[in-house]
Structure 1
Amino acid sequence: MELSLTALALLGLLLAAWTVGAGWMVVSSLQRAQAARTARSTMRRLSRMIDDSPAIPLLVKADGKLEGPERLAAWLGLSSLPGFLSELDTGKAGLTEGDLEQLRDAVRRTQKTASPFRMMITPRGSEKSLAVRGQLANAAIASGGAALLWWFDFSESQGELSRLRTETARARNDFAALVGLIEAAPMPMWFRGNDMQLRLVNSAYVDAVAAESAADVVKKQIELVEKVDGLDAAQVARQARDRDTPIERIVQATVGSQRRTLRVSDLPLGSEGVAGYGIDIEELEEQTRAFRAFRAAQRSMLDQLSVGVAQFDPDKRLTFANQPFQRIFALPNSAQLDLPTFERFLDMARDRSRLPEVRDFPEWRAELAGWFQEGSAVEDAWTLPDSTHLRIVAQPMPDGGLVLVAEDRSEQLALSATRDTLLRTRTATFDSLFESLGVFAPDGRMQLWNRSFPAIWGLPEDFFDEHPHVDKLLDKISNRLARPGQRKAIGEVVRAATLDRKERGGRVVLSDGRTLEFAGVPLPDGNGLLTVMDVTDSTKAEEALRERASALEEADAVKTRFLANMSYEFRTPLTSIGGFAELLQSGVAGDLSEQGSEYVGAILASVERLSKQIESVLDLTQSEAGLLPIATEEVDLLAFTTHIVRSREDAIEAKNVTLDLRGDKGAGQVNADRRQLGRALGNLLDNAIAATPPGGRILVALTRRKSGVRVVISDNGEGMKPSELARALDGYRLAGSDGKEGKRGLGLPLARQLIEAHGGRLEIQSEKGAGTTATVLLP
């Protein structure tokens, strides 16, 4: 029993040990199975990673046998991976002979020396670039000195490298060209570092600052641009860098030895610095100033024109309108400040009734706006509501703008209508004149004639319809002349009027006895006018007048001889009568009775009156004939007039008339014949005394004027009517206040003749019932 328990215990222990061993074996199997699964999964993952990796491994054993994935065969252009290294070149695919030999040597060297290698391979007929990196394989991978080659498809990288190399070479060439361009640039260019110090300048900069070299400019930091508004060039460049914005400005700088205008630009280049350049715009500025001056002169000139001119820019805005244009379309002054568009301009003109009346104004306005797109000038005629006629010319400009010209042709149309009326009037006037008229052109052809011209020469009217030449006309009329040779005289007159521009005339006699007088007159238009008049009757009258003129000349000679002898013939009997009457009055023939003394006194008074009348008639007749002798001398006018007035004191006192003499020494002196001037003023004073009623008033005034002396003699008598004054000046018989015929008065005609003989003038104003004023003007 004890044995059994021991045996059972042992058996239990055995069973327990067997169970533990079985469990351990199961656990160990499970662990090994898990490790196997993990290993297989890792192998599959590693194999997949190798298959998907950009690099393909190839194991080359010492005997040249190859082990690697089939994917490498596709890279090499082979259908399958060969077994040995020497089989990588099939002659049509795989490696080239040279690459294979180079690869074989590199692999052999690695197997022997364990030195790695790198090489580039391009398979036959492929554009792939394969990179090969070789090294001695680890003993865990392969033993016996195998070489492990990693193949990389370097096609994209190689292409990128080639592209980068190409771009690098191009960039290098471009940079060299850019440097050469900058150096050869005619404008100054420079580069500043981040500290705003000059680092690089070109030759133009060196020449501009008159430096020795670019290195000298950089060393001395010679600036081209001077300070402007307290900022130098470096400070402006720093502003451009800080703002990261290019700065452009126009400054004055000394380039060489001249002051020039430069457009300077500073261009920030990030953290590298700031580049700059200066463009010489002096000529551009001069052209700009010249253009501005030209534009100002052009607009000033346009303001002086009578034609309205306006300019519109490509945006259809009114940029300029001269004064006539503003006046024609009644534009307000605000249009010069707030520039209206073309459509707005039309609206403004329409509001002021300065456009034609149209049915559809918007459509018409759109049609006018199409003038901007026209290829040539457009001309139109506008009639405004106030009957103003405008000629409109729209000229499109190359820049897309428009020049609008408005010409007021109202006056021209009126002048044209007037001209047409004048032409019709001239034609009617020509046809209604008694003279025969013909107008010839400078070439001798007849241009115009009236109806009398064919009739006076006896030619048919249809002959002139062809505007014949003057020679043809002379041929026609030569057989109608009494002397055919006179045709040349007519031709010379026409030629002188048309070509020589001289006025000539002549006279011809026709075979029928008529006498024609002709004259050639040059006209302002270059033509010549030939006037022909039938002077047959006037010629006869002229001959009669010539005979009468001869008779009048003979009568004038008789009158001259009569005037020369009249003094002796008239005065000698009167002197004898007066002498005998004075002898009788003195008692030489004995004492006379009272009645005889009265008769003798009457005879003496009549002789004296008749002597004065005869003297007046002689003087008047001699003055009218121009034979009156005038002996001038210096005459003091005040004293002379005072003497004339005092010599008539008896007559003035007898009529109880008041005479007022006004004047002073300022009247001065005149050059006159004392006797004749005294008679003239005396006759005027006598007439004033005779016309003034008792208690009346006479004024005699002397005044000095710039042109001479004025003597005024006025009275407040009855005066005369204009007809009576005219007869008095002519010496006709006057009617008295009682209606009876008065005596013939020669005082006024004689006074006028004597005053005019002194170079003076007599003016008389008289009004019935108001008196008479005689004004004597002496030089």
Structure 2
Amino acid sequence: MSEMMHSLVEQAEDGAYAASCPLYPGERKPVGGSKTIAGKPGILARVVRIFAAGTAIVLVAPPVFAQVDTAAVASAHLFTSSQVVGLSVVIGVISAALLSTLWVVRQRGNLESESREIRSALSDAQQRISQYQALIADKNRRIVIWDGNERPELIGQLPAETGAPQDSEFLAFGLWLKSRSASELERAIDRLRGSAQSFDMVVETHREEILEAQGRVSGGRAFVRFVALNNLRAELAELKIERDRLLSSISAFQSMLDAIDLPAWQRDSDGRLTWVNHAYGEAVEASTPAQAVDEGREFLTTVARERIRATATTESPFHDKISTVVRGNRTFFDVVDVKVPSGSAGIAVDVSGIEAVRAELERTLKSHAETLDHLATPVAIFDGDRRLQFYNQAFVSLWELDIAFLESRPDNAELLERLRAAKKLPDQLNWKSWKEAALSVYRALDTQSDLWHLPNGQTLRVFATAHPQGGATWVFENLTEQVDLETRYNTLLKVQGETIDHLSEGVAVFGPDGRIRLSNPAFRALWGITEADAKPGTHIRALGDACSQSYDRPDGWRTFAELITSFDDERRSSQGTLELFSGLVLDYAVIPLPNAQTMLTFVNMTDSVRAERALTEKNEALRKADELKNDFVQHVSYELRSPLTNIIGFTDLLRTPGLGPLNDRQAEYIDHISTSSSVLLTLVNDILDLATVDAGIMHLNYSPIDLGDLLDDVSMQIADRLQESGVTLEITAPAHLGSIIADPQRLKQILVKLLSNAANFSPEGSSIALECQRDGTDFVFSVSDRGPGISQDMIANVFDRFATGAKTGKRGGAGLGLSIVDSFVSLHHGTVTIDSQPGKGTVVTCRIPSVDLPTSVAAE
């Protein structure tokens, strides 16, 4: 029985152990919520043990009681068997209850022990958490934790000197971090939260404080720790930032040097090129700067490089102008080469233009000096040190100073002292104050002027102007003649009065109030009034009433009165003609004078008007005769063109093989007939064109003309004429002449006439030149030949009609070619000029302006 109990207890313990065994090696998983603490058996094993013990007691009790019962039965037979069984059960139950009570008491003790152990572990964990929180809450660091999309948690704080906010504005990095650091930090946080990319970086606050930012991901949470750096770590971070700044600056400077058009280079300690910019590569004709460095292409000559190496030091860089060859041209460069321990660096500035400007400035100054030297006004220029820099001959003549003294560049004060000692300056009560006032021009902003009355009787107006760069210019204007002129003016006023009185023209001067100031006898005689009627102070209306006997028209003196007494801001002048009752014809003029006065003049034009009327009648007769002449020329020209056209047509018809062969003499006659007919037709056309121009009925048909096509047409049209004369044509024109708005037919006639005339007078085997160019919107062309030329006394008549000039041409003519050219160019509002010298040829230049075609606006 005892063995069976032990077996049950072992099975219970084994079952409890099996329930607490791990599912996998190295892993425990309690079953049924039971828990093993400090190696003690489980509750289930304990219960099994208790019930096993109670069963053992029950099993042991029957034999004992059996022995007792046997004795009792034997002795007295007091209990029955059923009573014995019931008593055994009761005793077993009581024993089980006692054992259960003992187990509960023991289990309670175990639970209290486990509770004490758990409280101790919890206290240790809370102590560690407090230590960690104290460590995190250090004033030199702050942690930001993001848990999903929840609001971030802020732990710790940063020192106040960093400028970091202590509240929720801490996450607004742009408020307390520099813009570059804030943008980089925000991008790093986005990558940390989005793709779990850790980062370590250094940021800089607006207060120049350095912080270290570390981003990590742990347990599904993203956190960023900000640590305020100090001492060596802060210095290291500052060095990193400074290094980044230096690298950025170097990159910026290299980019800038690559962008500028100035060759720049860098060499090592052995003098080899290590870096060049694009301008250097282009200067040495390398495709890239790297090729120039690899191939060692030198920008400066060997002598110049050796000179730089010998003279340049770390304390004194090389700086001088050096000549070198760039793209085949000799160029001057201002070279600066700086020597450093690791090598050297240099840059070259093209100063060829500056040298040219300097030379031009020297020439300009020399020209100005020559100009000032020829002025009659004395001029003296002093530099910033108040020393004489320039003077002209008029200055020497005015003051009669020694040239050697002036060439010594005296001081302005010294010059004034010399003039005072020579008694050539005005006498002053306080010489020192006067000299200081004169020399104050060097500190003045505006030009100073003064009058000097010299002891020799001259009066000078002195202008002194300070220069912006220092120095001053003194100009001495001699007013002696002006003073004399003022004296003479007063005398002339009296002479003028006498002169006006003896003029044949009538003159009357009125004041702004309309009252007469003066009048001459001729005025009174023309209008038949007395001296009393035109005495000074008489109003113009009263004067008009007195003159009404000679000229009584409403628009007469009333108009004069309105012009003289008008209150308009701008006084008007007027002129016209009037005829008096006496038959006199007067030309009048109303002329505004200074001081608001007005002069009224009357000129007796009776004889002239009568002669003009006679000439007008004759001119009308001549005009009608000219019209008859033009009509006759046009009629005859048109009548001549018809038979000439028939002659030319039949001549060409006779040449055709279909009408039969011609012998040599007949062919020769036909050629003469054709040539003469063509010449005659050209002459008739020229006469007709001139008659049309003279009649004023020729109108130009303006249209856009492509000048290139125009030159091609003219060269083709004149080819036969050039071949006949044995000359060649050279056309010089830009590639793109563009277009012009003119009459194509007349412009082509101008070119053909000029080229034909040049071919006619050019020797055989020579060439004529046609040069074309554009001057703004104008088309300018010239035709030149190497003919005998025209004498100066004949140039003025070359454009006259029927002016044949010299008889040296290959073909005679009526002399209408240049006349037609002049007429057509004038119709285009252009100009034509001729330049010729005997024996050197002739050049005819024409300028044809382009016109603007009117644009029609559609009705709305």
Class of the TM-score when normalised by the shorter of the 2 chains: 0.3 to 0.5
For normalisation by structure 2, the TM-score amounts to: 0.40
For normalisation by structure 1, the TM-score amounts to: 0.44
Larger Rg: 1
